[in-house]
Amino acid sequence: MEKQTQWNDQKLGIIYITASAFCFALMNLFIRLAGDVPTLQKCFFRNFFALMIAVFALIRTKTRFKIGEGNFKYLFIRSLSGALGMVLNFYAIDHMNISDASILNKLSPFFAIVFSIFVMKEVADRYEWAAVIAAFIGALFVVKPSFNAEVIPAVAGVLGGLGAGLAYAYVRKLGSRGENSMIIVAFFSGFTTLFLLPNLVLHYSPMSGIQWMFLVLTGMAAAGGQIFITNAYTKAPAKEISVFDYSIVIFTAVFGFMFLDQIPDIFSFIGYVIIIGTAIIKWHYARKISEV
């Protein structure tokens, strides 16, 4: 009976994390469809809506906004690195194929392996280092390094993944110290909203009704993605379901083709195969180790 319950929870976890990937793929599409709204302004409204939802969740669950002792500095680093990573990711989405931007952002778990050495004092084994190297080889196919301005969005995408990887390492640090997950989400949303507010006040760009609509949809899709991914990890551990998060690349490729006339080139496809293949092997290895 217990095994059946675990299997049902795992299936639900897979469904939830795939739904999360779908929502975040929609978010990427809506970011692009919002048009020539400045990237920082898009980031502000995405986080403003997320902050409203996080505050509502805290009120609904009657959770006090109380940061654990000694956790503020970790929350600050998590939020700053996450904010910078998000801005760079949004810039990449605005200036390159959204499927390419998505796969570069999904380098974050591999960056997290490196950062966890310093943040969590975890020593990566040779298989994890091999996964990191393989993932960055895949990234080179997507980035297609060159000595012109066209490479800037791709570099921003890689650095966005780096920021997200550092943020992920500190989320793990905070989790190990018993910090409430909703406090982490609310702090990040509030920090990023305040971080971007001066730019909004000084450089606000008027928006059309259509642009407002797509930014609201961006916030709703981001909230849906956050809710689904939270539910996913309450149903099953990361080692069992995390690989399904890479389905975002499929969703964004389809959306890019259908709505933006974007078709990734052969080098990008090779990069996708290398990065996703590496993630699958890493996922299989993590499951095998946990069963020993």
Residue 232 lies in a domain: yes
**Host domain of residue 239:** 1-36+208-261
Residue 54 lies in a domain: no
If you write DSSP's letter for every residue of 27-42 in order, what string do you get? Answer: HHHHHHHT-SS-HHHH
Residue 122 lies in a domain: no
For residue 171, pLDDT over 90 is answered with: no
Q: How far is CA 285 from CA 18, 30, 112, 129, 243, in A?
A: 21, 35, 17, 13, 12
Q: Are 270 and 43 spatial neighbours (Cβ–Cβ below 8 Å)?
A: no
Predicted local confidence at residue 244, as pLDDT: 86
Neighbouring residues of 188: CB distance < 8 A, sequence distance ≥ 6: 75, 78, 79, 82, 83
Of the listed ranges 163-167, 185-189, 242-246, the least confidently predicted one is 242-246
Quick: pLDDT tens for 202-237. 999 999 999 999 998 998 898 888 778 877 876 776
CA distance 254 to 257: 5
Residue 42 lies in a domain: no
Please compute the mean of the pLDDT values over residues 106-121 and round it to a whole number.
Answer: 85
Predicted local confidence at residue 79, as pLDDT: 93
Quick: pLDDT tens for 237-265. 666 777 888 999 999 999 999 999 999 99
Quick: pLDDT tens for 28-58. 999 999 999 999 999 999 889 888 888 888 8
CA distance 184 to 76: 10
Residue 32 lies in a domain: yes
- Does this model's pTM top 0.85? My answer is yes
CA distance 30 to 255: 10
**Measured in Å, how far apart are the chain's first and last C-alpha atoms?**
22
Q: Are 100 and 32 spatial neighbours (Cβ–Cβ below 8 Å)?
A: no
Neighbouring residues of 276: CB distance < 8 A, sequence distance ≥ 6: 103, 246, 249
Predicted local confidence at residue 90, as pLDDT: 94
Q: Would you call 63 helix, strand, or coil by DSSP?
A: coil
Residue indicated by tokens 């975890």: 122
For residue 290, pLDDT over 60 is answered with: yes
Give the model's confidence band at 147: pLDDT under 50 very low, under 70 low, under 90 confident, else very high: low
Domain count, the chain: 1
